[in-house]
Amino acid sequence: MTVILSIQNNRSYVDENIPDQIQSEQVECWCFQHPEDIALATCPGCKGKGSYTFYTYPFEEEITTTYFLLIMSALIIDIDPNDIYGSMNAIEFLKAVEGLRSELIHRADMSHTHNSFETGIDSDRARRYISRFKSIAVEATRRHAIVTWQG
């Protein structure tokens, strides 16, 4: 399971204002991997083509639910693990992320389980996620929008 952290109406904003920042990749569909190497005509993913285009939008972060809950807990943002859908004022979210940086990384560095939390997050990954969370919050603040998440 994953959670998407983004900015309210991010995709429409990117489509209208910065479409050149959308990345695309042709991905082989799972249905193409059966023994005959023939795409299934009834596949809902590729509709029988054998591949589909995967789009990556800027200011969106897909993160495992476990890592997301761990980071949000460290941010002291209460999330119901059974209903991962919410939003927050961008400025408040940015302040929380900026205040978290050293705490989360320090906790990761101090762990005795190969530089990782028991859940598996390590300090390098923590730094990357925090950096990405911060860039989303900065952009949301610039747009006067809110930060959203849904799982």
- 107-136 mean pLDDT: 68
Q: Which residue segment(s) compose the domain that 38 sits in?
A: 23-56
Q: Given a cut of 70, is residue 40 above it in pLDDT?
A: yes
Q: Are residue 85 and residue 98 in the same domain, yes or no?
A: yes
Q: What's the pTM value of the predicted model, to 2 decimals?
A: 0.79
Q: Are residue 63 and residue 52 in the same domain, yes or no?
A: no
- 8-13 mean pLDDT: 98
Other CB atoms within 10 Å distance of the CB of residue 79: 19
pLDDT of residue 107: 54
Q: What is the pLDDT of residues 122-132, one digit of tens each?
A: 777 888 888 99
Q: Are residue 79 and residue 39 in the same domain, yes or no?
A: no
Q: Given a cut of 70, is residue 79 above it in pLDDT?
A: yes
Sign of CA dihedral 124, 129, 135, 138: negative
Q: Are residue 8 and residue 76 in the same domain, yes or no?
A: yes
Q: Are residue 7 and residue 48 in the same domain, yes or no?
A: no
The amino acid sitting at 122 is D
Across all residues in the chain, what is the average pLDDT? 84
Q: Are residue 94 and residue 117 in the same domain, yes or no?
A: yes
* 37 Cβ neighbours under 8 A, 6+ residues apart: none
pLDDT of residue 111: 47
Q: Are residue 118 and residue 67 in the same domain, yes or no?
A: yes
Q: Are residue 100 and residue 144 in the same domain, yes or no?
A: yes
Q: Are residue 52 and residue 64 in the same domain, yes or no?
A: no
The distance of Cα 139 from the centroid of its chain, to the nearest Å, equals 15
Q: How many Cα atoms are found within 13 Å in the side-chain-facing hemisphere of 30?
A: 3
* Number of structural domains the chain divides into: 2
Other CB atoms within 10 Å distance of the CB of residue 30: 11
- 80-108 mean pLDDT: 80
Q: Are residue 69 and residue 34 in the same domain, yes or no?
A: no
The distance of Cα 8 from the centroid of its chain, to the nearest Å, equals 14
Q: Are residue 33 and residue 66 in the same domain, yes or no?
A: no
26 or 109: which carries more pLDDT confidence? 26
Q: Are residue 90 and residue 123 in the same domain, yes or no?
A: yes
